[in-house]
């Protein structure tokens, strides 16, 4: 595997299985923690640089154990198993100098053989992205939630409001180069929490676990370039502090590039009554 170096993920090898990086403030959210999509991209990027890793990212499951903040991070990589085509790796992200794991990931890498393709899912009908307005993010939103790295043009379901329908559609494209595995993984955490579609924006929410399946090969993603992909997202249920969501990610020609499942933790924010 050839290392991919980008200014967004400056990696320094310390020793076998040990790395450091500097997470810039542009990856932080208003609450102070790093955007969850950053951790996804970093897990993929570090394995692209790992000299013993074989193949390309096929799936990953991240557990957000505790919040990470912008600044220096320590990264640990460990190969759990390597077969003929499939390898399984563990990645841990921690604040520099700490033994407290912030994000734990299990990533499956694969050599992708040529096999007959099939598809049961179909892409939703949607207007072309350039037929939609391109509002520029302002204030804090211009710097948070990946807005610096991705352009988003919403078709429906934004901003999130309680309506009885959790579905949203949006075209998303990278601002900083061509789509690849790490950027596709990051987009899987680029939709508003589904609890907001039931309860409104006055909730606190954080991702507990996120699993992304990166169906497209590296070659199929290279054909996208810096074009838009369609993000289809919906929630199913919430209660007892936990809510779920699932998403599909489509190329313009109807190719399903990725799917994801996410479990989030939420609570209502109670406002003080005016006296």
| Out of 2-6, 14-18, 65-69, least confident range | 2-6
Per DSSP, 124 falls in state: P
The pLDDT assigned to 275 comes to: 46
| Confidence band, pLDDT 50/70/90 cuts, at residue 4 | very low
- The Cβ-side half-sphere exposure at 264, using a 13 Å CA radius, reads 23
- Once rounded to an integer, what is the mean pLDDT over residues 114-134? 92
Token pair 């169906």 is found at 215
Higher per-residue confidence, 157 vs 235: 235
How many angstroms separate the CA atoms of 101 and 125, rounded? 42
The pLDDT assigned to 2 comes to: 37
Element housing 1 (H / E): none
The pLDDT assigned to 1 comes to: 40
Write down the H helix ranges in the chain.
36-49, 181-187, 196-199, 218-222
The pLDDT assigned to 45 comes to: 97
Residue 7 in this model has a pLDDT that exceeds 70: no
Higher per-residue confidence, 156 vs 112: 112
In DSSP terms, which residues pair with 171 in a beta bridge? 153, 230
pTM: 0.91
- Once rounded to an integer, what is the mean pLDDT over residues 245-267? 97
Contacts of 168 (CB under 8 A, 6+ apart): 154, 156, 157, 158, 160, 191, 192, 197, 231, 232, 233, 234
The pLDDT assigned to 144 comes to: 55
Higher per-residue confidence, 103 vs 177: 103
């Amino acid at each position: 595997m050839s290392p991919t170096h980008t200014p967004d993920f400056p990696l320094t090898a310390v020793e076998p299985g040990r790395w450091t990086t500097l997470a810039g403030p542009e990856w932080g959210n208003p609450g102070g923690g790093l955007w969850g999509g950053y951790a996804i991209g970093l897990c993929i990027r570090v394995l692209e640089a790992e000299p013993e890793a074989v193949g390309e990212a096929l799936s990953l499951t991240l557990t957000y154990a505790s919040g990470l903040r912008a600044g220096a991070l320590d990264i640990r990589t460990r190969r759990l198993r390597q077969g003929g085509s499939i390898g399984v790796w563990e990645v841990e992200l921690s604040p520099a100098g700490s033994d407290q794991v912030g994000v734990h990931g299990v990533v499956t890498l694969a050599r992708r053989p040529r096999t007959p393709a099939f598809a049961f899912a179909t892409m939703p009908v949607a207007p072309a992205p350039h037929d939609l307005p391109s509002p520029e993010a302002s204030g804090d939103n211009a710097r948070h939630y990946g807005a610096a790295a991705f352009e988003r043009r919403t078709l429906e379901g934004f901003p999130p409001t309680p309506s009885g329908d959790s579905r949203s559609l949006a075209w998303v494209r990278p601002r900083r180069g061509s789509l690849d595995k790490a950027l596709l993984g990051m987009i899987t955490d680029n939709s508003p929490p589904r609890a907001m579609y039931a309860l409104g924006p006055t909730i606190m929410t954080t991702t507990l676990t996120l699993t992304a399946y990166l169906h497209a090969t590296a070659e199929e993603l290279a054909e996208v370039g810096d074009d838009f992909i369609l993000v289809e997202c919906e929630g199913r249920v919430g209660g007892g502090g936990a809510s779920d969501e699932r998403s599909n990610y489509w190329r313009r020609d109807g190719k399903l590039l990725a799917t994801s499942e996410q479990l989030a933790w939420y609570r209502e924010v109670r406002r003080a009554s005016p006296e």
